[in-house]
Structures are given as structure tokens and as C-alpha cells.
Amino acid sequence: MVSLQLNAVEARYGRKVVYAEASTPEIAGGRLTALVGANAAGKSTLFRRIAGQLAGKGEVRFVGAGLHDLRYMPQDTGMTAALSVYESVILALKQGRGGWRMGAGELAAVDEILAGLKITALSGRPLSELSGGQRQLVSIAQTLVSRPRIVLMDEPTSALDLYRQYEVLEYLRLYAADTGSVTILALHDLNQVMRACTMTIAVAEGRIVAAGPTLETLRPELIRQLYGIEARVETCSRGCPMMIVDRAVREG
Ligand SMILES: Nc1ncnc2c1ncn2[C@@H]1O[C@H](COP(=O)(O)OP(=O)(O)OP(=O)(O)O)[C@@H](O)[C@H]1O
């Protein structure tokens, strides 16, 4: 079983300390975990620290996986390379593996991920000619094609239409269940979080302020603390929890 835990982790940019001592409970694999918080709260910074891109004290403890099994999809993937979609996914698969010979299994993995995300038709298109939503789907394919056991995704649905948001969240949920991977998604849409993520970690001003089962964690008091928004969680007529926003309770 794969899991991840932070113990008194520091994350800094040079002298600027964003997290002084961030700790989490064990984050289990096999299900989706949400990372939530306001703009500039520290979500991407926490991902960078887990991914080994930032230094600092404390322990990032992986069980059943290591940094070589980790893929981090940043918010802005800046796809400028003169490659086709298919080539870019092959490149992502080859990252860290060495050699260019493609086995039948590797080609099948590329075909499978493109089909799974319903972007096979984009295979031959240059990255530079894709729409924002298409780029985001390709980026997800690049992140998952090697079937990593630790997956960190920064706002993976931010450029997608409603249908694609639903499809991608479902795809990610099944990916986590199939592979047992620790899959953490930074998300702003709390209804997506409630629909898809079993566990939620909330950050504010460089501190982890809550972590636990999603429905127990996303309480109105926490929403107010994180976002300055008065909100309710109610059950819709089909039995699903929904976040209803009433009003802003702070300026700015
Ligand atoms: N390269 C950097 N150098 C210095 N400070 C940075 C750097 N990147 C981010 N920060 C700062 O770190 C803090 C946390 O930023 P971070 O990008 O982690 O927030 P976030 O929660 O991901 O925000 P958003 O929802 O807006 O993407 C902010 O104060 C930000 O200005």
C-alpha cells in the first residue's frame, strides 16, 4: 500500500519561508485527496516541496513508493515544444527511463492513456495548435502515462468544460483505485472536491489548518476561514452533498 505523510516539513524560496512546520496524517493511496485553500495559500509550494523541487527541514515520508515514482503536474505546463501530442506523451513516458527504443507495452500505454482521456484524435496535432482545455488533457496524459504511484496535480480541471471536468475527475478516481497511487489534486471547486475526493487537506497562509475525511473537513467554519465566504453544505434531491455559497464576509 502506497502512502505519504509530512512531518514538520519546511518549504522555502531562498530566505522566504512559506511553510515552517507542516504536518499531515498519513495520506493513503487508492483514492483522491484534495488540497484546498485560497490563492497564494501555499498549495503549489507544498506540491513542489513534496516533489523535491524545494529544500527545507522536516520529513516527506513515502511508503511503498519513492521520488522516482512521483509525477507533479504544475498549474502552468507551458507547452511550447515543437512536438505532436503523441510524441510529447512518448517523451513523458521515457522521462527517467533512458533509451529511445519503444517496446510494444510502452506504445500500448501511450495509446491507452490517449484513449482513456478521449484525445486519440489529437495524436498528430502539434502542441502549439491546441486549445487551453486540450493542452490540459495532454498534460494529464503526460503525467499519468508512466503510471506513477504518487501523483500531484495542480488544478487539473481548471481549463475544462463541464463534461470534461466530470470525465477527468472520474478518470482520476479510477486511476487512483486501479493503481493504489497517492493522488492529490489542488482544486478550487469545492463541489468537485465533495464529489470526487475522499480526503481533504486545507492550507492557509503556509499552514495546514485541517486534514481529514472530506465531508467532516469542509465545514462552514473552515470555508469561512479559508475563503472569507459564508457557505452551507446541503444534500441535493439525489442525495449528493452540495456547497451553496451565500455571501462574502470579508473585503478583497
Ligand atoms: N518562486 C517563488 N519565489 C518566491 N515566492 C513564491 C514563489 N512562488 C510562490 N511564492 C509565494 O509563495 C506563497 C504561496 O504561493 P503558492 O503558489 O504556493 O500558492 P497557491 O496556493 O498555489 O496559489 P494559487 O491558488 O493562486 O495558485 C505566495 O505568497 C507566493 O507569492
Q: What is the mean pLDDT of each run of 10 residues along the chain (252 residues)?
A: 96 93 97 97 96 94 94 83 91 79 85 97 95 96 96 96 96 97 97 96 95 96 95 92 91 57
Strand runs labelled E in the chain? 3-7, 9-13, 16-22, 27-28, 32-36, 59-63, 70-73, 150-154, 182-186, 199-204, 207-213, 229-235, 241-248
Task: Report residues whose beta carbon is within 6 angstroms of any ligand 1 atom.
Answer: 13, 16, 18, 37, 39-45, 75
Number of other residues whose CB lies within 10 A of the CB of residue 207: 16
What distance in angstroms lies between residue 238's CA and the mean position of ligand 1's atoms?
38
CA distance 53 to 76: 16
Task: Name the residue of 10, 15, 17, 18 whose CB sits within 8 Å of the most ligand 1 atoms, as the mutation to test its pocket.
Answer: 18
pLDDT of amino acid 54: 94
For ligand 1, atom 27, the nearest C-alpha belongs to 39
Q: How far is the CA of 242 from the centre of ligand 1 (A)?
A: 29
* Cα 231 to ligand 1 centroid, rounded to whole Å: 26
CA of 39 to the centre of ligand 1 (A): 8
- Give the C-alpha separation, 249 to 129, whole Å: 42
pLDDT at 134: 96
